[in-house]
Structure 1
Amino acid sequence: MPILPFKFLRLRLKGRSHVPIHQDQYVENAVFPRSPVVTDCIHPELDRKFDLTSSVRCADRSPIVYGYHADLWKGIWNGEVVAIKVIRVIGNSVDRKQACAKNALKEVEIWSSVKHKNVLPLYGYSHEFGPVPSLVSPYMNDGTASLYLKTHPDVNRLQICAEISNGLAYLHEQRIVHGDLKGDNVLICSLEDRPYPLICDFGLSKRLDLTGSLRSTIVKGTVPWMAKELLMPGTTEDEEAACTLTFQSDVWAWGMTTYELFTDAPPYSHLKYRTLFELSMHIADGNVPEYPVSCEQSLEQHVWALLQMCWNPDPSQRPRSDELRLLVRGQVPVNPTV
């Protein structure tokens, strides 16, 4: 894969992913209440560089994606189509809105600090699309990796997964744990008929301390992609490691994402579980996906062995993210211990 500098990616995004739009296609933002301006949780330099308030407009009258925590709108910034992540706020209290606003701006601080060819760039944020600052990023016509591969079955899936691991390794080098890696949080940018995956959605991301962990009593995420130790606190030999977001839990999620992208289905989708709690207990009991026989022509054995390494119940025995790309390409031996 050719190395694409960030500036090159930014320029080339103007091709297929960015679409110029005429002024008469703008949609007024009057339907959105202005967000409270939170000044004590973001560095002034970030405020100057990334505050796009008054320069971003909506391009449609309804969201293009409805989500549980946020809706995605198509917008216009500097004549280009952009994506506007409008965060939902549950409850009308001032404290709740202020807390959500601070969380959004913390996401800005993390996201704005990363620049890599396999990470979606952040353009900035705006206070004009709801009670919480909304995040503005490039709009990708090719959609998410999970949807793209369903409509482009001949794409090299191993290449896509290797490049996702490349972006993940970069985030870990920056002491950032993503916290919610899955196919829907990877967008595809096509350059010269070649798909490039871009990791996105840093709503659950955290910058970790020097120990490489973040202690928390509440861990959020998407259950089928979450590591065993996150779903059943106290089940690991080291109880202090329970309920902790780590680089290793991201590696587990990369393994589940790779499984998802090869099978065109979420992990455990073949199970008939009635609730997410039931699925959580299934994972916490040590169950991982079985080899998908339907993918035996595309999912090579050394890749399957690597996924088993990523799902090792002992987080310390999982490969590091910087090892994944070499391992997934078979450039170094894979020796699963589970």
Structure 2
Amino acid sequence: MADDKRTQPRRRRPRDESADDSYPPNYTTLPVDERRDPNQVLTDMLTRLSCLDLSGRVTKIGTHAKSGGSYSDIFHGRLLSNGKLVAIRELRAHIFPEAELKKSIALELRIWSDLEHPNVLPLLGFTLDFGPHPVFVTEWMSNGTVLDYVKANPAASVLQLSIGIAAGLRYLHKREIVHADVKSSNVLVSPTGVPSLIDFGLSRLLVISQVIMSTREAGGTFRWMAHELCGGRTPEHWRESLRTVATKESDVWAYGMTVLELLTKSYPYSHLKTDFQVFSAIGKGSLPPKPSNLMGPEEIALWQDICSPCWSSTASHRPTMSELLKDLHDLEHSIGLKRKHK
């Protein structure tokens, strides 16, 4: 695919490593060693994070899941101590080999428990009360997903929501964490309208994530998958593209698709009905058409200056999340000035 104007290389700004968090910790020594016994890995992690153990202090409300992500089911719950509503997130154990599941839980607990950012949903704790494996407990987000939110609140600012999501992803990337499953259903909105990233079921540290994604792992996420993850190969990088790995650059592509969801109030490639059609279209370089329902200069700028650069077929030509966040703040400032002078 020949890059059009939307996907031309852009001049990179100097990286700002001091904008909103300290230098990332060294995660290369994570105690999740492939050579260790999975039971011991998980036991050690639960012991290490015993301060987050909510066993005996959480109850489910109802027996059916309220929602779910690619790898988990979400149940409504309540803290017994104060009645606070919570979400109980259970990984779907049947889709994971037992050893992989235990190490994934240990890794996710290790990563999630160390994150602190307004646009990343905090982990309240875990509990051992609902099955043989630990489940995760977070605050209950009554506004649902960010796509639910913009559908229910037509006056909601897509720009402000896009800024929040970008800030959360930038925070993860600066800590060398690839989310790897960025989409509207993995962004929840707080009662005050703040978007928060969730579901690190596919999240992997860069040093761990260099594995080929299987069809099982990719299921349900094709509409947000980058060109290189759908078989696309640029001539200069065809060897590297033989290994389809989740990267910061593929997160950027998915971020652009997520902003597109907020603009169109629909999933990417909504005109295509099957995963195969979507996978084939992205691999061949077919980008989403310009939405016909864009309202005003703000949404036009989000499409043209934010979404489109994220979809360069060459991953290295995509902006970083730091650059996108700077562009979003510039747009916010520009829109504010125009409104002020009306």
Common topology (TM > 0.5):
yes
Structure 2 stretches of 5 or more lacking a match?
A: 1-19, 21-37, 333-342
Q: Give the equivalent residue in structure 2 for 1:300.
A: 300
Q: Does 1:317 align with 2:321?
A: no
Deviates further, 53-62 or 222-231: 53-62
Q: Which amino acid aligns with 2:123?
A: L
Tell me which of 51, 54, 58 is aligned to 2:53. Answer: 51
Q: CA deviation at 1:305?
A: 2.9
Contact 1:177 1:206 in 2 (8 A): yes
Structure 1 stretches of 5 or more lacking a match?
A: 6-36, 333-338
Structure-2 separation of matches of 1:101 and 1:177: 20
Q: Give the equivalent residue in structure 2 for 1:262.
A: 263
Question: Do the aligned partners of residues 250 and 236 (structure 1) sit closer, same or farther apart at CA in structure 2, a change above 3 Å counting?
Answer: farther
Q: Give the equivalent residue in structure 2 for 1:218.
A: 213
Deviates further, 290-299 or 143-152: 290-299
Deviates further, 286-295 or 43-52: 43-52
Q: Give the equivalent residue in structure 2 for 1:16.
A: none
**SS at 1:160's partner residue?**
helix
Q: Give the equivalent residue in structure 2 for 1:84.
A: 88
Structure-1 separation of matches of 2:68 and 2:247: 29
Q: CA deviation at 1:52?
A: 2.0
Q: CA deviation at 1:68?
A: 5.8
Contact 1:52 1:124 in 2 (8 A): yes
Q: CA deviation at 1:108?
A: 1.2
Structure-2 separation of matches of 1:131 and 1:235: 46
Q: Give the equivalent residue in structure 2 for 1:18.
A: none
Q: CA deviation at 1:283?
A: 0.4
Q: CA deviation at 1:308?
A: 1.3
Contact 1:286 1:313 in 2 (8 A): yes
Q: TM-score, normalised by structure 2?
A: 0.77
* Higher normalized contact order (CA 8 Å, seq sep 6+, divided by chain length): 2
Q: Give the equivalent residue in structure 2 for 1:14.
A: none
**SS at 1:135's partner residue?**
strand
Q: CA deviation at 1:197?
A: 0.5
Q: CA deviation at 1:304?
A: 1.8
Q: Does 1:74 align with 2:73?
A: no
Contact 1:164 1:199 in 2 (8 A): yes
Deviation track 1:300-327 (CA, whole Å, cap 9, x = no partner) reads 2364232111000011111111111221
**SS at 2:59's partner residue?**
strand
Q: CA deviation at 1:291?
A: 0.8
Contact 1:89 1:131 in 2 (8 A): no
Q: Which amino acid aligns with 1:225?
A: W
Q: Which amino acid aligns with 1:152?
A: N
Q: Give the equivalent residue in structure 1 for 2:288.
A: 289
Deviation track 1:218-277 (CA, whole Å, cap 9, x = no partner) reads 253411011111121655632225402111111111100000011100000023x4x312
Question: Do the aligned partners of residues 218 and 233 (structure 1) sit closer, same or farther apart at CA in structure 2, a change above 3 Å counting?
Answer: farther
Q: Give the equivalent residue in structure 2 for 1:200.
A: 198
Tell me which of 62, 78, 84 is aligned to 2:64. Answer: 62
Q: CA deviation at 1:113?
A: 1.3
Contact 2:224 2:257 in 1 (8 A): yes
Question: Do the aligned partners of residues 39 and 264 (structure 1) sit closer, same or farther apart at CA in structure 2, a change above 3 Å counting?
Answer: same
Contact 1:105 1:133 in 2 (8 A): no
Structure-1 separation of matches of 2:209 and 2:103: 19
Q: Which amino acid aligns with 1:257?
A: T
Question: Do the aligned partners of residues 328 and 52 (structure 1) sit closer, same or farther apart at CA in structure 2, a change above 3 Å counting?
Answer: same
Q: Which amino acid aligns with 1:264?
A: K
Listed as ranges, the matches of 1:110-125 within 5 Å are 110-125=111-126
Structure with a larger share of its residues in helix: 2
Contact 1:311 1:318 in 2 (8 A): yes
Structure-1 separation of matches of 2:314 and 2:110: 32
Q: Give the equivalent residue in structure 2 for 1:243.
A: 244
Contact 1:46 1:109 in 2 (8 A): no
**SS at 1:198's partner residue?**
strand
Question: Do the aligned partners of residues 89 and 150 (structure 1) sit closer, same or farther apart at CA in structure 2, a change above 3 Å counting?
Answer: same
Contact 2:67 2:74 in 1 (8 A): yes
Contact 2:163 2:325 in 1 (8 A): yes
Q: TM-score, normalised by structure 1?
A: 0.78
Q: Which amino acid aligns with 2:180?
A: G
CA RMSD across the alignment = 2.5
Q: CA deviation at 1:90?
A: 1.9
Q: Which amino acid aligns with 2:287?
A: V
Task: Report percent identity of matched pairs.
Answer: 33
